[in-house]
């Protein structure tokens, strides 16, 4: 809106426009209605031109390729390896399925583009997969807002799309019998590792990260490190080490002395001397992709993974009557609702047994009279 100012003894109108901290002004010769109207028109046109000019400047410096590269470069050191790979894959899918080039301006990334991409994920993958990408790319957008100069001031185009309905199949939880069948097929270090998964209810990355200083044989406890929290911060928890686990860990500690060239810090390292593993010999594990599949095949049981063992531990404790709060503490869930979801994976037969046992009483068969069709 034009304002009146005194300049050189004459009252004049001054037009002024400010966009993204940049200001342009123009003085008019007097305070007449004609000068006021001209100032209004100038402000309207000047605002459009300034916004266009600044948009061009920002577009050059804020290509989506620059954004994704900077975010992933920082994230490689901040996030756990699996989390980083998940975020990297989300960007790769986004480029592939939208057809956008890395030079595409961040400022032109609209809600419509993001919605169409996520709808494609729903159609070709699942609602759960689309929501995963929505979360990962939306988080990356927030990072850009917080860390990159000239970032768009508007809404987050990914999180502006509502979450999609999910149809998630319950995770298969092995029976205790199947676990021990698989355990019997394992040897050496793999047996120790499987017992650690069962007795600690640990995540795969937590077991692979265990170092010998984390194993306290005096206080009978083991320290587990996790990197699941927002921001990539590592956190640790001390868990009790059962007598069975302590015994096998001591035996494994002695066995490790027979491998002086292997990594001395980590408890579990690659000790296989096959051609495929030669490159990784003596180094801590990262994945162990085929171990459980191979052991389950040998044991002739339905395949399950490391995380299935974590669910199994939760279900064993629940069946033995331990309260949800105790199970939550062992699983180290920040939210009790997460623990409740684990418990629901006990399956239909557990529910059937509870109903059969809990609802016993006198009953009789109800006879229904057949109605003849007219």
What percent of the chain clears pLDDT 90, i.e. is strictly above it? 48
Q: What confidence tens digit (pLDDT) does each residue in 211-245 have?
A: 999 999 999 999 999 875 555 567 889 999 999 99
Enter the tokens of residue 275.
């051609």
* Residue 352: per-residue pLDDT: 53
Q: How far apart (Å, rounded) are the C-alpha atoms in residues 205 and 194?
A: 13
Q: What confidence tens digit (pLDDT) does each residue in 64-103 have?
A: 999 999 999 999 888 878 889 999 999 999 999 999 999 9
- Identify the H or E element spanning 120: helix 111-124
Rounded-to-5 percentages of helix, strand, coil across the chain: 55, 10, 35
Q: What confidence tens digit (pLDDT) does each residue in 282-322 have?
A: 788 877 878 999 999 999 999 999 999 998 998 888 888 88
Q: How far apart (Å, rounded) are the C-alpha atoms in residues 87 and 281?
A: 29
Q: Rounded to two decimals, what is the model's pTM? A: 0.62
Task: Please tell me which residue, 365 or 269, carries the higher pLDDT value.
Answer: 269
* Residue 89: per-residue pLDDT: 96
What percent of the chain clears pLDDT 70, i.e. is strictly above it? 85
Domains of the chain: 3-61 (no CATH), 64-147 (1.10.150), 176-351 (1.10.443.10)
Query: What is the per-residue DSSP string for 258-319?
Result: T-TTS-SSBSSB----STTTGGGTTSBPS--TTHHHHHHHHHTS----HHHHHHHHHHHHHH
CA dist list (Å): 56 to 53, 60, 69, 70, 277: 5, 6, 21, 21, 52
């Amino acid at each position: 809106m034009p304002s009146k100012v005194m300049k050189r003894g004459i009252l004049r109108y001054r037009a002024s426009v400010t966009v993204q901290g940049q200001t342009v002004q123009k003085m008019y010769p007097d305070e007449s209605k004609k000068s006021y109207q001209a100032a209004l028109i100038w402000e309207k046109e000047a605002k459009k031109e300034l916004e266009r000019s600044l948009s061009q400047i920002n577009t050059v410096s804020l290509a989506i390729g620059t954004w994704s590269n900077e975010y992933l470069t920082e994230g490689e050191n901040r996030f756990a390896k699996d989390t980083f790979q998940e975020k990297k894959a989300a960007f790769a899918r986004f480029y592939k399925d939208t057809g956008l080039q890395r030079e595409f301006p961040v400022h032109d990334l609209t809600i419509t583009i993001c919605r169409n991409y996520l709808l494609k994920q729903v159609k070709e993958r699942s609602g759960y997969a689309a929501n995963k990408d929505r979360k990962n790319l939306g988080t990356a957008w927030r990072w850009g807002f917080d860390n990159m100069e000239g970032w768009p001031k508007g809404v987050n185009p990914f999180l502006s799309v509502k979450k999609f309905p999910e149809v998630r199949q319950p995770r298969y939880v092995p029976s205790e019998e199947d676990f021990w069948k698989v355990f019997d097929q394992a040897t050496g270090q793999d047996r120790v590792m499987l017992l650690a998964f069962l007795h600690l209810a640990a995540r795969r990355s937590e077991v692979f990260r265990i170092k010998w200083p984390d194993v306290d044989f005096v206080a009978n406890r083991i320290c587990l490190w996790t990197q699941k929290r927002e921001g990539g911060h590592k956190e640790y928890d001390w868990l009790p080490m059962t007598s069975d686990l302590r015994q096998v860990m001591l035996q494994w500690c002695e066995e490790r002395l027979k491998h002086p060239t292997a990594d001395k810090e980590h408890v579990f390292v690659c000790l296989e001397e096959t051609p495929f593993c030669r490159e990784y010999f003596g180094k801590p594990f990262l994945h162990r992709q085929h171990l459980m599949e191979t052991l389950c095949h040998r044991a002739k049981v339905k395949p399950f993974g490391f995380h299935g063992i974590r669910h199994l531990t939760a279900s064993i404790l629940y069946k033995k009557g331990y309260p949800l709060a105790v199970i939550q503490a062992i699983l180290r869930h920040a939210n009790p609702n997460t623990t409740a979801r684990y418990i629901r994976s006990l399956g239909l037969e557990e529910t059937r047994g509870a109903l059969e046992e809990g609802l016993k009483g006198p009953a009789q068969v109800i006879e229904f009279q057949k109605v003849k069709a007219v």
